[in-house]
């Protein structure tokens, strides 16, 4: 009996020891597992940090490469523009005599003429690009949203949305073009200044003198043609041919740098006016970028004057510059739309025209020739407008305001520096 009891005690003790050993093994295994998981977590965390650093370095490297390529592209564009200008100067020099020796009754411009329609279209595209670059309002630029909102509301009846850069930039582009043309037309229609023996004053009004003298000369030729008999057909073509040649000369040399490389006084004054006006709406933060931007302007002014005041009038019939009115129905044959969400033009109207339509005989369905489409921003026509008013069609038997004379836009949208 005692022997059995002793064996049972020993068996219970062994079972207890085995249980304790199992518990100890489980505890050791659990601790080892925790250590292993901790090591795995630490390893994954280190790998994550390593990958994040690699990603950051890769992104920085690509951004740096992008900036380098972007700068190279800008430099190439500048080089292209300079080479293009030099090529045009050589082409003009080579073709000017050839053009002058053409048939006096023929107004058609040769393929090599600097003022043929194809060439004008190309150069107007370059002018558009320069104006677009000059009017930048993002990328290192602080903008005055309050002034931009007031500009859009008061001059274009457009609503500004906070953070929008597209509509304000389009408005500034339009005002730049309008102001240059308006100021130039004011200069060319003010009448001759009193004759002053000062080369500086005489040079300032030289283009005005050429225009006035040409008109007086043509008036006398027309009087001669109408008051004297003759048999030649050249006489009747002479006034237009002379005017065509004068516009070609002014389109090449008008408002250009003087022989000693000084800026034209009118261009310099307009340059300062526009820079002051633009400062109401934006500030380019970096001084070197601001100077680079401002240095573009004189060249833009000269090219806009030469192109839209003189060169498009070399064509016969002359091309016209026309701003598309707000709420005009979108017409893809006349307009280039910058923000159309679909191809259903019937649902869209003009919100703001940032660059004018350049067109020969715009009111003729058969002879109309579009040199450059108007650049517009469109807005979806409200449903109520169809029931309360007719959306304006561009050619609907009415003259465009401010377009009664080629190159003479509506004055109310040009800048007012009194503010």
| pLDDT tens column, 133-158 | 999 998 899 999 999 999 999 999 99
* Number of separate domains in the chain: 1
Helix axes 117-134, 287-304, angle to 10 degrees: 150
Q: Is residue 11 part of a domain?
A: no
Asked if the model's pLDDT at residue 236 lies above 60, the reply is yes
| pTM for this predicted structure | 0.66
pLDDT digits (tens, 9 = 90+) for 276-301: 999 999 999 999 999 999 999 999 99
Q: Is residue 25 part of a domain?
A: no
Domain boundaries, position 296? 77-413
For residue 126, what are its two tokens?
């370059």
Please give the Cα distance from 243 to 7 (Å, whole number). Answer: 135
pLDDT at position 398 is: 43
Cα-based angle 146, 147, 152 (whole degrees, multiple of 5):
100
Question: Mean pLDDT score of the chain, rounded to an integer?
Answer: 82
Q: Is residue 18 part of a domain?
A: no
pLDDT digits (tens, 9 = 90+) for 168-210: 999 999 999 999 999 999 988 875 555 444 555 456 788 888 8
Q: Is residue 325 part of a domain?
A: yes
Looking at mean pLDDT, say which of 88-102, 319-333, 372-386 comes out highest. 319-333
pLDDT at position 200 is: 52
Q: Is residue 10 part of a domain?
A: no
Using CB atoms within 10 A of its CB, is residue 210 exposed (0-12), middle (13-18) or buried (19+)?
middle
* Residue environment code for 225-250, b if the CB has 16+ CB neighbours within 10 A, otherwise e: eeeeeeeeeeeebbbebebbebbbeb
Asked if the model's pLDDT at residue 164 lies above 50, the reply is yes
pLDDT at position 313 is: 93
Please give the Cα distance from 178 to 415 (Å, whole number). Answer: 8
Q: Is residue 257 part of a domain?
A: yes
Phi and psi angles of residue 128, each rounded to the nearest 5 degrees, phi first: -55, -45
Q: By mean pLDDT, which of 182-196, 209-223, 360-374, 375-389 is the weakest?
A: 375-389
Q: By mean pLDDT, which of 32-36, 327-331, 390-394 is the weakest?
A: 390-394
Band the pLDDT of 342: cuts 50, 70, 90: low
Q: Is residue 122 part of a domain?
A: yes
Q: Is residue 22 part of a domain?
A: no
């Amino acid at each position: 009996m005692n022997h059995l009891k002793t064996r049972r005690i020993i068996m219970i003790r062994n079972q207890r020891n085995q249980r304790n050993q199992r518990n100890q093994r489980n505890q050791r295994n659990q601790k080892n597992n925790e250590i292993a998981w901790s090591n795995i977590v630490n390893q994954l965390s280190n790998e994550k940090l390593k990958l994040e650093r690699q990603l950051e370095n890769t992104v920085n490297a690509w951004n740096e490469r992008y900036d380098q390529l972007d700068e190279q592209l800008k430099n190439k564009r500048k080089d292209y523009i300079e080479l293009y200008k030099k090529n045009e100067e050589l082409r003009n020099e080579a073709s000017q005599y050839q053009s002058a020796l053409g048939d006096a009754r023929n107004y058609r411009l040769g393929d090599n003429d600097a003022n043929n329609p194809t060439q004008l279209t190309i150069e107007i595209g370059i002018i558009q690009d320069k104006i677009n670059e000059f009017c930048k309002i993002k990328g290192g630029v602080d903008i005055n949203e309050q002034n931009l909102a007031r500009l859009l509301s008061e001059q274009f009846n457009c609503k500004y949305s906070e953070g929008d850069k597209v509509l304000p930039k389009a408005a500034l582009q339009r005002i730049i073009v309008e102001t240059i043309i308006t100021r130039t037309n004011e200069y060319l229609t003010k009448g001759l200044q009193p004759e002053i023996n000062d080369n500086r004053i005489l040079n300032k009004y030289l283009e005005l003198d050429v225009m006035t003298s040409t008109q007086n000369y043509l008036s006398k030729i027309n009087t001669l043609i109408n008051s004297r008999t003759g048999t030649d057909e050249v006489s009747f073509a002479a006034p237009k041919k002379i005017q065509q040649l004068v516009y070609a000369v002014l389109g090449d040399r008008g408002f250009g740098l003087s022989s000693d490389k000084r800026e034209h006084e009118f261009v310099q004054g307009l340059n300062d006016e526009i820079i002051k006006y633009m400062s109401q709406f934006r500030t380019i933060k970096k001084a070197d970028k601001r100077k680079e931007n401002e240095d573009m302007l004189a060249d833009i002014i000269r090219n806009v004057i030469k192109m839209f005041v003189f060169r498009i009038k070399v064509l016969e019939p002359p091309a016209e510059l026309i701003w598309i009115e707000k709420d005009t129905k979108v017409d893809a044959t006349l307009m280039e739309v910058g923000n159309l969400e679909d191809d259903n033009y019937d649902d869209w109207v003009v919100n703001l025209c940032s660059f004018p339509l350049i067109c020969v005989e715009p009111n003729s369905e058969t002879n109309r020739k579009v040199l450059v489409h108007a650049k517009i921003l469109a807005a979806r026509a409200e449903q109520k407008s169809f029931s309360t008013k007719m959306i304006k069609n561009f050619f609907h038997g009415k003259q465009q305001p401010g377009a009664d004379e080629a190159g003479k836009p509506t004055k109310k949208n040009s800048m007012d520096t009194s503010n």
